[in-house]
Amino acid sequence: MPNVLELENSMPVGKLGLVVHPSFAGKGDTINSYLALFRKDIHNDLVKNDPAFQGYQKDNYLIPFEIPRFGSGEAKAQFLQSTRGYDLYILVDVCNHSITYNMNGFENHMSPDDIYQDLKRIIAAVDGKAARINVIMPFLYEGRQHRRTSRESLDAANMLKELSNMGMSDFITFDAHDPRVMNSIPLSGFDNFMPPYQFIKALLTNEEDLIVDEDHMVVISPDEGAMERAIYFANVLGLNTGTFYKRRDYTRIINGKNPIVAHEFLGDNIDSKDVVIIDDMISSGGSMVDTARQLKEMNARRVFICTTFGLFTEGLGLFDEAYEKGYFDRLITTNLTYLPPEIYDRPYFIEADMCKFIASIIDFMNHDSSMANVMDNTQKMHAILENYNQRRGIDL
């Protein structure tokens, strides 16, 4: 973990507590284990006698709680221990549709709306008692509904404002569709983290013959909205970049949006080069598969898809078919949101684990340290690329 010396010389805001919603179960246990490991050797000369470090070193930072639900579908949050004085971190995955509950004899899958309501219940149960309430929501709830273009709601802004009014101190998310939505809560903290280091680490760990330079690799954005991600990734690795322009039919609206007519490529020649596609999410996957297909038709050597959130709203069939046809070679996505269990059996899938990164974020926030300690991925990306090249005997 970076900059441990800064943690050694700072005090925690309060006793650390993790409140892991069932939608984040499993990953919450892993994050808890990392935090226990991080703190094992820090402040050993202080924790025994200084009251400020009471409960600093523990094997378990998880706060037990329940969300019982009545037969009507209504629910409540109930904590099983005191949270007074705790610096709480509530972890929630609004896209985990695998959780079910019974209502009037029917089994319902929890929607993002249901999980968001649970989050508010948790905050309501501890507000006024905890020293600080922080929300970690990797996929920003209603993040795609961040601006008004016609007579419509501003759901993401309303969500942030509502949580802030309820007592939330800081909001932590990942790869927000448009981070400018933070303007809706100017007096509350809003941190937006990106996973480029985890992408390159996963790719270099699983591919042994990559040549990462501008003559052999290029970074592609599947649309103009993802260009900033692609440019950063390409600049750090010393690569060129390109993008696809989505040409839409603005005379029709299908499923709430104008349908895409074609993807037009803007960029240099990619003939015989490895291509890395960077995007924030895969929803149904149609646009991503079409982008990969066109890249292979342009004689790309290999196509690696890197996406922060793999939602796969229409299942994996489309990607299975595309892989069999040779449209792409690897699909890398983080575990920040729920992934269907069967994806781990796919030969093309690579998981970019984010649990250690989240644990580092929590540790630095609990010490009220600068988030620059964990936000800057440039040096780490350079280091892992240098180690990869040295391992392969490539002269830099």
Cα dihedral 338, 91, 363, 236 sign: positive
CA distance 200 to 182: 28
**Per-residue pLDDT tens digits for 112-166:** 999 999 999 999 999 888 999 999 999 999 888 767 777 788 889 999 999 999 9
**Per-residue pLDDT tens digits for 202-236:** 999 999 889 898 999 999 988 777 788 888 889 99
Please report, as a single letter, which amino acid is at residue 31: I
CA distance 265 to 242: 8
DSSP string, 294-352: HHHHTT-SEEEEEEEEE--TT-SHHHHHHHHTTS-SEEEEESSS---GGGGG-TTEEEE
CA distance 161 to 144: 16
Chain position carrying tokens 């800081």: 170
Chain position carrying tokens 């202080």: 46
Beta strand 240-248 with 260-266 is: antiparallel
Which residues are paired to 86 by β-bridges? 15
Chain position carrying tokens 């808890």: 32
Instruction: Return the pLDDT at 252.
Output: 74
350 falls in which pLDDT band (50, 70, 90)? Answer: very high
Instruction: Return the pLDDT at 1.
Output: 47
> Whats the size of the chain, residue-wise?
396
Residues 279 and 228 sit within 8 Å (Cβ to Cβ): no
Structure letter (DSSP) for residue 86 = E
Of 5-14, 148-157, 284-293, 364-373, the range with the lowest mean pLDDT is 5-14
Which residues are paired to 91 by β-bridges? 20, 136
**Per-residue pLDDT tens digits for 81-96:** 999 989 999 999 999 9
How is residue 382 written in tokens?
A: 């350079």
76 falls in which pLDDT band (50, 70, 90)? Answer: very high
Residues 91 and 361 sit within 8 Å (Cβ to Cβ): no
Q: Residues near 181 by Cβ (< 8 Å), separated by ≥ 6?
A: 140, 143, 146, 156, 157, 160
Instruction: Return the pLDDT at 43.
Output: 62
Instruction: Return the pLDDT at 124.
Output: 95
Entry pTM: 0.90
CA distance 77 to 123: 9
**Per-residue pLDDT tens digits for 97-114:** 999 999 998 999 999 999
Closest CA to 24 of 81, 79, 98, 85: 98
CA distance 390 to 281: 33
CA distance 262 to 330: 24
**Per-residue pLDDT tens digits for 266-312:** 778 888 999 999 998 998 888 899 889 999 999 999 999 999 999 99
Residues 79 and 63 sit within 8 Å (Cβ to Cβ): yes
53 falls in which pLDDT band (50, 70, 90)? Answer: confident
**Per-residue pLDDT tens digits for 310-346:** 999 999 999 999 999 999 999 999 999 999 999 999 9
In the predicted structure, residue 15 carries a pLDDT above the cut 50: yes
Of 61-70, 178-187, 259-268, 271-280, the range with the lowest mean pLDDT is 259-268
Helices 378-392 and 227-237, packing angle to 10 deg: 50
CA distance 278 to 202: 14
Number of neighbours of residue 365 by Cβ within 10 angstroms = 24
Q: Give me the phi and psi of 323, to 5 degrees please.
A: -65, -40
